[in-house]
Amino acid sequence: MTTITGVRVSDVRFPTSDELHGSDAMNKDGDYSAAYVELITDDPHLSGYGFTFTIGRGNDVCVLAAELRAAILIGRPVADVVGDLGGIYRELKSDSQLRWLGPEKGVIHLATAAVMNAVWDLAARAAGKPLWRLLAEMTPAELVSVADFQYITDALTQDEAREMLEEMAPTRGQRIAELEASGYPCYTTSAGWLGYSDEKLRRLCQEAVDAGYRHIKLKVGANLEDDIRRCAIAREVIGWDAALMIDANQMWDVPEAIEWVQALAEFKPLWIEEPTSPDDVLGHAAVRKAVHPIGVATGEHGMNRVLFKQMFQAEAIDFCQLDSARLASINEILSVYLMAKKFGVPVCPHAGGVGLCELVQHLSVFDYVAVSGTLENRVTEFVDHLHEHFVDPCIVENGAYRLPSQPGYSAQMHAASVAEYTYPDGSQWAARSAASAEMAALSS
């Protein structure tokens, strides 16, 4: 009987702030990082990998929280854990002392995500299937039994969810075949980071168009004149048939958001992303009303299913950008997909960061196959960074994710990458710390 014998959580940080990759109005100098969980079993060929994503300092806090969360898994038979993916999630969640730290938000929820992502990876590896296929082969009743319905039954009951899934079940196979042929459509954010020069922006927009993308996203919100100039450059390059999205990364209060977006309306953005606090359901609803027909998108900081429930109930958003490492793994993500279906809101998952693209490709495929059954208004984020550190990196061709084929959730990093970028003792960070000590000595 294969057993989980240990958990290793690593503080992996990439020095992305060097080049201002990932720079936006709120987050000027992130070091993209992962609290990286490895569930070790006594079968040398079976482990589970998962992570949550942060942007540097504080990644150690998530590591410590993930160690606390994962402790109850040690000593459990793999078959028990992956045979009851709803039960293990509820057991993990029910530790009331750890729950107090959220509840269900912030560091402790990121830690739950990291650990349960590893559990789902383990389940898919144990089954020998990519995660999207494991999910696509579960019955509607099984899916409902693993989803988290606590606090959402006023918006969606388990019976309603099962009925929606049953309606799509007979035609799952044909949608899998479609995606195997064409991939799942994505857009690129790689062109539009705020720290890039106009020349670099222009060049990257052109490269994106040449690579087949029909959607480009720009960061905005630091300076209105800059935003107008940058949007004009983007439209010049991509034309008016392609979609332009803009992303303010929570820079504005509600009245300012409305004013600023109206000033950029001439560039006909498809959506304004994160116009204000991610917690502000009523604020997003007010912005949405005011900036119509520009859509409102948010979700990468959407803390849990209760927040998304209210976003749907208040008709606050046009696009739901759930995050695969902030929501507490498939168990909670499923609930959000099911509510989105009922309320008619397309899900366009947030990605980028470290490994988020690797995860969300599974989610988008599963959504199309088993939940939404449509690609209308759906496009998944893609950022072309850091994929080289993953054993089974996502593959994007012609503006679309190819279907993952290897077993698991594509979450495993190369052992060499983990070793090299572990903070603060990995070779990358040790070298930096030696270099900055030398600089300090020279300048004193």
Q: Which residues bind a copy of itself (CB under 8 A)?
A: 26-31, 54-58, 60-62, 64-65, 68, 95-110, 150-154, 250, 253-255, 276-283, 286, 301, 303-304, 306-307, 309-310, 313-314
- Angle between the 329-343 and 158-168 helix axes, to the nearest 10 degrees? 80
Rounded to whole angstroms, the Cα distance separating 164 from 144 reads 11
CA-wise closest residue to 122 among 93, 81, 72, 71: 81
In terms of CB distance, is 304 or 361 closer to a copy of itself?
Answer: 304
Residues 55, 250 contacting (CB under 8 angstroms): no
Report in angstroms how near the CB of residue 381 gets to a copy of itself at its nearest: 17
Report in angstroms how near the CB of residue 96 gets to a copy of itself at its nearest: 5
Q: Quickly tell me which residue has 């705020």 as its tokens.
A: 194
Using DSSP, state whether 49 is helix, strand or coil. Answer: strand
292 in catalytic set:
no
Q: Quickly tell me which residue has 């959607």 as its tokens.
A: 215
In terms of CB distance, is 62 or 136 closer to a copy of itself?
Answer: 62
Report in angstroms how near the CB of residue 5 gets to a copy of itself at its nearest: 21
Structure tokens at 398: 């012609």
In terms of CB distance, is 58 or 212 closer to a copy of itself?
Answer: 58
350 in catalytic set:
yes
- The continuous run of DSSP H or E covering 380 comes out as strand 380-382
Report in angstroms how near the CB of residue 278 gets to a copy of itself at its nearest: 7
Query: How deeply is 305 buried, as exposed, middle or buried, from its count of CB atoms within 10 A (0-12, 13-18, 19+)?
Result: buried
Amino acid sitting at position 173: G
Report in angstroms how near the CB of residue 54 gets to a copy of itself at its nearest: 6
In terms of CB distance, is 325 or 379 closer to a copy of itself?
Answer: 325
User: What is the secondary structure of 323-376 as a DSSP string?
Assistant: -TTTS-HHHHHHHHHHHHHHHT--B-----TTTHHHHHHHHHHHIIIII----T
Rounded to whole angstroms, the Cα distance separating 142 from 146 reads 7
- The continuous run of DSSP H or E covering 215 comes out as strand 215-219
* Cβ atoms within 10 Å, residue 328: 29
In terms of CB distance, is 97 or 174 closer to a copy of itself?
Answer: 97
Rounded to whole angstroms, the Cα distance separating 440 from 438 reads 5
Given the residues 21, 350, 385, 387, select the one marked as catalytic: 350
Report in angstroms how near the CB of residue 349 gets to a copy of itself at its nearest: 18
CA distances from 141 to 145, 291, 325, 329 (A): 6, 40, 25, 19
Report in angstroms how near the CB of residue 17 gets to a copy of itself at its nearest: 9
Q: Give the pairing of strands 271-273 and 243-247.
A: parallel
CA-wise closest residue to 358 among 121, 180, 154, 141: 121
Report in angstroms how near the CB of residue 53 gets to a copy of itself at its nearest: 9
Rounded to whole angstroms, the Cα distance separating 30 from 202 reads 23
Residues 215, 270 contacting (CB under 8 angstroms): yes
Given the residues 93, 109, 129, 219, select the one marked as catalytic: 219
Catalytically active residues are 219, 350
